[in-house]
Structure 1
């Protein structure tokens, strides 16, 4: 009962803030920063010059729209002035930010001592897709779906990538196929198909690695290697193959998007790109997530 009351209060609080500021985003300042952040599990804050405009800010507004129906996720901005009363410069100093790099995004997750930081080096790095991908790459416990992504399938994609057991992966593929059968809308069915086909391809890559591990040792002194060593090595190659496949496929689709095509085709390709990200976000390299903080 208490959790329901808190959730209801959170929904009302967000609704009031959105009525005041619109577009799903909230303006923060030195006086209300900590008070408002304390009410949300996850908060994405954009630090920027006061009264921002242009493509980067428009992309931010698109990101803000994703939070409108998520009571535990807030998207906010801090406008910084380097003139007059120098509003909010104390927050810039507090988080050791460089105004020359604005806009800078900080992602606050309750329970974490420090926020995650993101800033880009080109205009493309500030697209709504890139910012959403940054948020999705962090273990916030909140689902932030990109266009074309489906929550249940994203959960299965994460479990699939994080599993090293072929038998478990086949079970997750079966669960995805069953979900696909029950999807109602045409657009969701197209998305479900991409999830399932991606899992099938990754299983195929894993199967190739497993077959390689059972091959007789080659010449040149490799006979002394244990079977366990071979399996471990090929398991690493398997992860590398997954990363390479996903990266290659994303690059291919990005290239296609530069070509002239119908709006519907472009939306379908963007959805496919986002779904591939749902897998790629959890492919680990040398113990680190494939999406890193931009510091």
Structure 2
């Protein structure tokens, strides 16, 4: 079914963008209303008619990262303030101002009325991806994360945590030097959760995000982004508590 939907959108994805960005849709009011409800998550960048430069390159990288996740779609709304004022109606509907371009909005579960607005750095690929992962619950791989460890996180929460922790330590022995850096952080998180409880995840996420707002070297900034990504994986894979009625 999803393949059929994507096939029917081929014209929009490949033929209507100002610049041909693979996997991206150029939206107007009609196409937005028809296409957005068909996906669990749609990230739309509201921007000028002919976007260019570093921020446009960031959008391309975000779109490329989303190609493997069929529940996510990315697109652009090009707004013109002259001539026929293309898509000015969408700018008004979603309260997007020219001076704020580019503005990213995330539409979830087919809801076209109340998208979430990204308030982070529009030059940060990882920041935008993090925003999508945290709010959509969908996973398409973030920097610093390791597939082998992501696969055992659910087991960590649903079975004997000490056994899974030992399993994580064994997996680390087989990894490359670079992978062991991330593996060590997965293991540290497991140890802290066992020691302090599940609430450690949110507390540590807030702490690291606050640290990342400071003046940091590129290496330190990347390290923090990787750690936030790994913590996000724990957050997404943690079973939601059932509410008794």
> Conserved in 2, the CA contact under 8 Å of 1:173 and 1:199?
yes
Q: Which residue of 2 aligns with 1:278?
A: 233
Pick one of 142, 157, 163 that aligns with 1:146: 142
Q: Unaligned stretches of 5+ in structure 1? A: 1-5, 207-237, 284-295
Q: Unaligned stretches of 5+ in structure 2? A: 239-245
Displacement of 1:80 after TM fit?
0.4
Q: Is 1:204–2:200 an aligned residue pair?
A: no
Q: Is 1:9–2:28 an aligned residue pair?
A: no
With over 3 angstroms needed to count, the CA separation of the structure-2 counterparts of 1:113 and 1:14, relative to structure 1, is closer
For these two proteins, the number of residue pairs brought into alignment is: 234
Q: Is 1:64–2:55 an aligned residue pair?
A: no
Q: Give SS of 1:66's match.
A: helix
Distance in 1 (alpha carbons) for counterparts of 2:164 and 2:104: 35
> Conserved in 2, the CA contact under 8 Å of 1:106 and 1:115?
no
Displacement of 1:103 after TM fit?
2.1
- Alpha-carbon RMSD across the aligned residues, in angstroms, is 3.9
> Conserved in 1, the CA contact under 8 Å of 2:69 and 2:139?
no
Question: 1:1-80 counterparts in 2 under 5 A?
Answer: 6-10=1-5, 12=7, 19-20=14-15, 21-80=20-79
Distance in 2 (alpha carbons) for counterparts of 1:13 and 1:186: 45
Pick one of 121, 125, 131 that aligns with 1:134: 131
> Conserved in 2, the CA contact under 8 Å of 1:246 and 1:280?
no
> Conserved in 2, the CA contact under 8 Å of 1:253 and 1:273?
no
Displacement of 1:271 after TM fit?
2.9
String of CA shifts for 1:58-78, please: whole Å, max 9, x gaps: 222211111122222111110
